[in-house]
Chain A
Amino acid sequence: AQSVAQPEDQVNVAEGNPLTVKCTYSVSGNPYLFWYVQYPNRGLQFLLKYITGDNLVKGSYGFEAEFNKSQTSFHLKKPSALVSDSALYFCAVSDRASGGSYIPTFGRGTSLIVHP
C-alpha cells in the first residue's frame, strides 16, 4: 500500500527566508509525486510533480521540490518566502508499478505561515 507522511503540522518562516515543507513517501514500485496548495476556503491547486528525470522539479510561484529516492523524500522548497505563500500544502503519491494504485494518496497537509 502507498502512503505519504508530512511530519510537520505547521511550518513558520519569516518573509524573505527560505522555506522547506517536508514529505516522505512509501510505494511498492517507483513513485509519481505531487505537491498541491490550498488557500483559505478554496480547492486544492496543483504546484508541481515528479514523474521521472531530473530530481529537482520546478513548479508554480517559484516553488521547487527535490526527489530523493534513497531517503524516499520529496521536500518542497522556496528560496525566499512571501506572506502570500501562507497556505495549506499537501504532498501526494501514486505508484507507477504495474498493478500499483495510480489513485493518488494524500498526506495530512502542512500549514505554512509566513510572518512579515
Chain B
Amino acid sequence: NAGVTQTPKFQVLKTGQSMTLQCAQDMNHEYMSWYRQDPGMGLRLIHYSVGAGITDQGEVPNGYNVSRSTTEDFPLRLLSAAPSQTSVYFCASSTGDRGVNVLTFGAGSRLTVL
C-alpha cells in the first residue's frame, strides 16, 4: 500500500539550478496533479494530467514542466529555480471520475531555493 510516493522529501537549490521532483502512484489512478502550498495561500494547482500522454496547466504553471509517459509517474521539473519557488510541493492522484475527485496526496517535498 505505497499510495503516492514523492521524492526527495527535502531539497535545497541555488537560483538557476534545475531539478525534478518525482511522483509515483501504484493505484492505477488516471488523474495526477501537482500543487504547491505556501503560507496563507492554501494549495495552488501547478499542472495536472488526466491520463498518460495528456497534461494541462493549472493556476500557477510558470517555471514548471511536466510529462506523463506512464500511468504511474508524473514528474515535475523546475527549469531554472527561483527563490519564489521555495515552497512545499504535493503530488496527488485520483481515479478521475468526473468531479468525484477524491485525491490521495503524497507526503510532500519541501524545496528551498537560495
- Asked if B105 contacts A103 (CB within 8 A), the reply is no
Residue of A nearest to B38 (CB): A108
Tally of contact residues, B, Cβ under 8 A: 24
- Asked if B107 contacts A32 (CB within 8 A), the reply is no
Q: Mark B45-64, 1 if CB is under 8 A from A, else 0.
A: 10010000000001000000
- Asked if B107 contacts A43 (CB within 8 A), the reply is yes
Whether A32 touches B42, Cβ cut-off 8 Å, given contacts A43-B105, A43-B108, A103-B33, is: no
A43 to B43 Cα, complex, angstroms: 11
Q: Which of the residues A9, A42, A102 comes within 8 Å of B107, measured between beta carbons?
A: A42
Q: Mark B7-40, 1 if CB is under 8 A from A, else 0.
A: 0000000000000000000000000010100001
**Across the interface, which residues of A come within 8 angstroms of B40, CB to CB?**
9, 108
- Asked if B106 contacts A90 (CB within 8 A), the reply is no
**Across the interface, which residues of B come within 8 angstroms of A45, CB to CB?**
105
Q: Which of A1-23 contact B (CB under 8 A)?
A: 6, 9
Knowing that A43-B107, A103-B33 touch, tell me 4 more A-B residue pairs with CB under 8 angstroms: A43-B108, A103-B45, A104-B101, A108-B40
| A/B interface sample: 8 pairs, CB < 8 A | A43-B105, A43-B108, A44-B90, A45-B105, A46-B103, A94-B101, A103-B45, A104-B103
**Across the interface, which residues of A come within 8 angstroms of B42, CB to CB?**
6, 90, 106-109
Q: Mark A46-78, 1 if CB is under 8 A from B, else 0.
A: 100101000000000000000000000000000
Residue of A nearest to B42 (CB): A108
A contact set with B: CB distance below 8 Å: 6, 9, 32, 34, 36, 41-46, 49, 51, 90, 94-96, 100, 102-109
A105 to B59 Cα, complex, angstroms: 10
- Asked if A43 contacts B90 (CB within 8 A), the reply is yes
- Asked if A96 contacts B99 (CB within 8 A), the reply is yes
- Asked if B43 contacts A103 (CB within 8 A), the reply is no
- Asked if B105 contacts A44 (CB within 8 A), the reply is yes
A9 to B39 Cα, complex, angstroms: 11
- Asked if A32 contacts B99 (CB within 8 A), the reply is yes
